[in-house]
Structure 1
Amino acid sequence: MGLARMIGTVLGTGYIKPAPGTWGSLVSLPWAWVLHVIGGLPLLALGIIAAFLKGWWATAQMTRGQEGHDPSEIVIDELVGQWIALLPLSWAAWSMGISILAMWPGWIAAFVLFRLFDIWKPGPVGWADRRGDALGVMLDDVIAGVFAAIGVLVLAALYHGVL
């Protein structure tokens, strides 16, 4: 397995059937936890940037000369989007000095909301997906992750009585 394929499929996770995108999101959760535990919000943010750049490159390599711009086995985009959806939890845990696992309902919300926005592809998520290139493959999940992160913040505010 070449480097681009290892990155793009997140070490082969993209070959798990059915629903490789959901598996990619699920596999990204413990990795996000590890990054947060080692370096808090700053390391998770750096991880997102590094995974995005490597994912963009890997997706371009894997789709070069192919008709399909977003094969189902490419799930590095789901990892990036899922990590973005978890940013509010990382920020809260890091800034308040509490365990990120204490916010387990937020993990569930981040996972469900990210998958919802990634599958539904509302507005700008669908626009990015329709670009038909490696950047679009990555961007649609970045935007879905941002939408999910906003959803996590809204749900947390409702739960804690802020809204």
Structure 2
Amino acid sequence: MLRAINTVGYVGLLKPAPGTWGSLVAVLVGWAIEHWLGFIPLVIATVAVTALGFWSVRAQLGDSSDDPSEIVIDEVAGQWVALLFPAFGFWSRGLSTGVELHMVWPGAVAAFICFRLFDIWKPWLVGRADRRHDATGVMLDDLWAGVFAGVVTIILAALYHAVFLGMMQ
């Protein structure tokens, strides 16, 4: 059961780059939650998968210092944190559920790309969490990567709207 949870239904067994596969599934499911159910259900799902991840990763790894690549529940939690940023932007403007795909896909794509970059690059707090070499670090590095990816996604959106759309007016 722990393996099914931690590999997110065995997505973590896909090769190559199981973390990327886990992030891709996460962004698609997270976007679907936000699109059809709304921002608040995405927040609830993010908190739930994060809590489940902390429990299940610790239960599987114990005191081991391993971070097996097949464990991707941390990618789901981190990717959903990244998605919360653009989703909040739409929600705060009353555009959460049922928004047409052409309006929201850039935010989800940017969150996905930025999350993967921060998760691979592991700057600052992401790397510090990764260097813990424990179950908590497995989750924390992706949560920090999600926060950084979310912030960069919002910065990119602001630049796009200010610069590109400003030039078109």
Separation in structure 2 between the aligned mates of residue 136 and residue 149 of structure 1, nearest angstrom: 20
Match of 1:96 among 90, 93, 96: 93
Report the CA distance between 1:6 and its aligned residue: 1.4
> Deviation at 1:85?
0.9
Q: Which residue of 1 aligns with 2:16?
A: 18
Who is 1:63 aligned against?
61
Residues 129 and 141, structure 2, Cα contact 8 Å, conserved in 1: yes
Aligned to 1:151: 152
8 Å contact from structure 2 (residues 23, 75) kept in 1: yes
Runs of 4+ in 1 over 4 A off after TM superposition: none
- Is 2:87 the counterpart of 1:86? no
CA contact (8 A) 1:13 1:23 kept: yes
Partners of 1:100 and 1:45 in 2: CA distance:
20
For 1:32, the equivalent position in structure 2 comes to: 30
What CA deviation, in whole Å up to 9, does each residue of 1:104-163 have, x standing for no partner? Answer: 112111111100000000011000011111111001000000000000010011011179
Is it true that 1:72 corresponds to 2:69 in the alignment?
A: yes
Task: Note the residue ranges of structure 2 that are not aligned, 5 or more in a row.
Answer: none
TM-score (norm 1): 0.91
> What is the CA–CA distance in structure 2 between the aligned matches of 1:142 and 1:97, rounded to whole Å?
26
> In structure 2, how many angstroms separate the alpha carbons of the residues matched to 1:17 and 1:152?
27
Q: Which runs of 5+ in 1 are unaligned?
A: none
- The number of aligned residues is 160
Which protein has the larger Cα radius of gyration, Structure 1 or Structure 2? 2
Report the residue type matching 2:35 in the other structure.
Answer: V
Residues 1:8 and 1:100: Cα distance change in structure 2 (over 3 Å): farther
